[in-house]
């Protein structure tokens, strides 16, 4: 007669315990960082879509919390400037404060990119065909522009392209996926907010409540999915 043995759970080894503790601590740090930045965005008096977009941008680039809040609070136009600052900081390996300092000196984004030797290709990642408005004019100029020469486009085009890169990179979609939504009248901020609404809240201020969408304002990593 065979014996029926009950399997007992194996004790948690020291290595597994340390690994689990590290994961828990990392999650706690990420949560604390997100909470600090979220509280800073609340103080800007922005509508929900813009605030959520800024929080997603911050999660995407993950700068140190103190630096993120400092840069955010000193941006002349946070919703437009913050994504560009973080994108150029990552590309140039300069600090976000260095990028902001140049911007506060009233330099155009094209001038800043030229000074830091940042290729405009960072704004057009994933765009291998004419994306149409509002990106098509800048894209066409870039495709015809000789490489290595000074490249100048409007600040507004830089804003919109940087936001597109953030949204596509964070959600792992091709930029054309977001462009299709834009053609239906959905801004980049709205696209991002609808996919992340309710994720960002402060323990002190309570859960976020939707107040509606922002008015259309126009508007990383490689984008791998359709």
Q: What's the mean pLDDT in 193-206?
A: 71
Would you say residue 137 lies in a domain? yes
Task: Report the half-sphere exposure of 104 (CA within 13 A, side-chain side).
Answer: 14
**Each residue of 95-139: pLDDT tens digit?**
999 999 999 999 999 999 999 999 999 999 999 999 999 999 999
Q: What is the pLDDT of residues 153-198, one digit of tens each?
A: 999 999 999 999 999 999 999 999 999 999 999 999 999 999 998 8
Separation between Cα atoms, residue 162 and residue 20, nearest integer Å: 36
CA distances from 62 to 156, 168, 188, 207 (A): 24, 16, 20, 22
Rounded mean pLDDT, 58-79: 96
The domain total for the chain is 1
How would you classify residue 149: left for phi > 0, otherwise alpha for psi between -120 and 50, otherwise beta?
A: beta
152 vs 100, which has greater pLDDT? 100
Residue 69 to residue 33: CA distance in whole angstroms: 10
Domain encompassing residue 82:
14-196
Residue 215 lies in a domain: no
Query: What's this model's pTM, rounded to 2 decimal places?
Result: 0.75
Residue 203 resides in a domain: no
In a domain, 36, yes or no: yes
In a domain, 95, yes or no: yes
**Does residue 37 contact residue 202 with C-beta atoms inside 8 Å?**
no
For a pLDDT cut of 90, what percent of the chain falls above it?
64
How many Cβ atoms are within 10 Å of 113's Cβ, its own excluded?
26
Look at residue 135 and tell me if it is in a domain: yes
Q: 202 forms bridges with which residues in the sheet?
A: 206
User: Average model confidence (pLDDT) for the chain?
Assistant: 81
Residue 9: count of CB within 10 angstroms of its CB: 5
In a domain, 178, yes or no: yes
Q: pLDDT at residue 209 above 50?
A: no
From CA 214, how far away is CA 211, in angstroms rounded? 9
Between CA 117 and CA 102 the distance in angstroms is 14
Q: 209 in helix, strand or coil? A: coil
The sign of the CA dihedral 65, 67, 70, 76 is: negative
**146-155, 197-206, 211-220: lowest mean pLDDT where?**
211-220
**pLDDT exceeds cutoff 60 at 223:** no
């Amino acid at each position: 007669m065979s014996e029926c043995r009950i399997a007992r759970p194996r004790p948690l080894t020291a290595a597994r315990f340390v690994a689990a503790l590290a994961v828990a601590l990392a999650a706690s740090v990420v949560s604390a960082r997100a909470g600090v930045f979220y509280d800073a965005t609340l103080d800007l008096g922005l509508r929900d879509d813009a605030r959520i977009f800024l929080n997603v941008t911050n999660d995407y680039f993950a700068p140190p919390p103190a630096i993120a809040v400092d840069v955010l609070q000193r941006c002349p136009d946070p919703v437009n400037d913050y994504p560009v600052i973080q994108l150029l900081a990552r590309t140039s390996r300069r600090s976000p404060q260095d990028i902001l300092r140049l911007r506060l000196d009233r330099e155009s984004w094209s001038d800043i990119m030229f000074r830091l030797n940042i290729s405009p290709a960072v704004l057009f990642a994933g765009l291998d065909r004419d994306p149409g408005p509002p990106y098509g004019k800048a894209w066409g100029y870039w495709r015809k522009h000789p490489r290595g020469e000074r490249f100048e486009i409007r600040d507004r085009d830089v804003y919109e392209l940087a936001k597109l890169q953030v949204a596509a990179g964070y959600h792992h979609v091709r930029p054309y996926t977001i462009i299709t939504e834009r053609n239906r009248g959905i801004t980049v901020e709205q696209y991002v907010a609808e996919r992340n609404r309710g994720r960002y809240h402060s323990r002190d201020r309570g859960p976020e409540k939707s107040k509606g969408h922002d008015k259309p304002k126009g508007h990383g990593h490689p984008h791998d999915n359709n």
